[in-house]
Amino acid sequence: RKEVEQDPGPFNVPEGATVAFNCTYSNSASQSFFWYRQDCRKEPKLLMSVYSSGNEDGRFTAQLNRASQYISLLIRDSKLSDSATYLCVVNPPDNFNKFYFGSGTKLNVKP
Amino acid sequence: GAVVSQHPSRVICKSGTSVKIECRSLDFQATTMFWYRQFPKQSLMLMATSNEGSKATYEQGVEKDKFLINHASLTLSTLTVTSAHPEDSSFYICSACPPGGGAGDETQYFGPGTRLLVL
């Protein structure tokens, strides 16, 4: 079983729409969670961390559900520039600096 | 902010040759660096953890004799793809964590990646 699983999409949404992605992780002892954004042919860049209490950064909201072992990312008022692949990242319990990436969810925001 | 560089940014080589990719932390020392591989339309896959002064730790299914990792200094890790074959063509990305990072500290910095094409 994969450590992290995501719906690959693509999610095709119009500008201004609200879109949500989920990601499930297999190891219940995983410590930390992140969302990264990756543009085509570029390295991934940190979008936001995911805290147990949930956190918000502008139009982006991340939440963690430990009981069901999933994290989510909500994007409100989608912009064309939000088009990218969103990667769910999990730290395994044995190494706080090791990252396991999900397969990524492709988002296409259309005018 | 902290920067990680990779060299070369892209390389084309013939099947059977070896290719070395360098990963450098430019303004911090990194006792640990990570190497990832990304095939087209797929996500990043962790290949190995590079430890300064000791042997690298490889993920399951990654051949350590195929992908040689050397972490000779606190700012440099190298990945050598030995006897490269077309199926090794991929995007190789390294990352590094500044000292003091831990407990899932998000200050992990990625290099820009190296595109390898083996003909």
8 Å CB contact of A99 and B49: no
8 Å CB contact of B34 and A99: yes
* CB burial of residue A33 (10 Å; 0-12, 13-18, 19+): buried
Q: What is the pLDDT of residues A9-48, one digit of tens each?
A: 899 999 999 999 999 999 999 888 999 999 987 889 889 9
Instruction: Say how far apart CA B102 and CA A98 lie, in whole Å.
Output: 10
Instruction: Say how far apart CA B58 and CA B83 lie, in whole Å.
Output: 18
| pLDDT, mean of residues B1-22 | 92
Indicate if the pLDDT at residue B71 is higher than 60.
Answer: yes
Q: Which residue has the tokens 């990072």?
A: B101
Opening angle at CA B119, ends B87 and B110, nearest 5: 60
Is there a contact between B49 and B32 (Cβ–Cβ < 8 Å)? yes
Residues of A whose CB is below 8 A from B111: 43
Residues of B whose CB is below 8 A from A34: 106
User: Mean pLDDT in chain A?
Assistant: 91
Q: What is the pLDDT of residues B12-44, one digit of tens each?
A: 999 999 999 999 999 888 888 999 999 887 888
User: For every residue of B81-117, which 3-state class applies, written as one string?
Assistant: ECCCCHHHCEEEEEEECCCCCCCCCCCCEECCCEEEE
Instruction: Say how far apart CA B72 and CA B51 lie, in whole Å.
Output: 9
* The two structure tokens encoding residue A108: 């296409």
Phi-psi region at B74: left, alpha or beta (left = phi > 0; alpha = psi -120 to 50): alpha
Residues of B whose CB is below 8 A from A33: 104
Chain A contact present for B111, CB below 8 A: yes
Opening angle at CA B107, ends B6 and B98, nearest 5: 65
Instruction: Say how far apart CA B1 and CA A108 lie, in whole Å.
Output: 30
- Interface probe for B, chosen from A6, A49, A91, A97 (most Cβ of B below 10 Å), is A97
Chain B residue with the nearest C-alpha to that of A94: B103
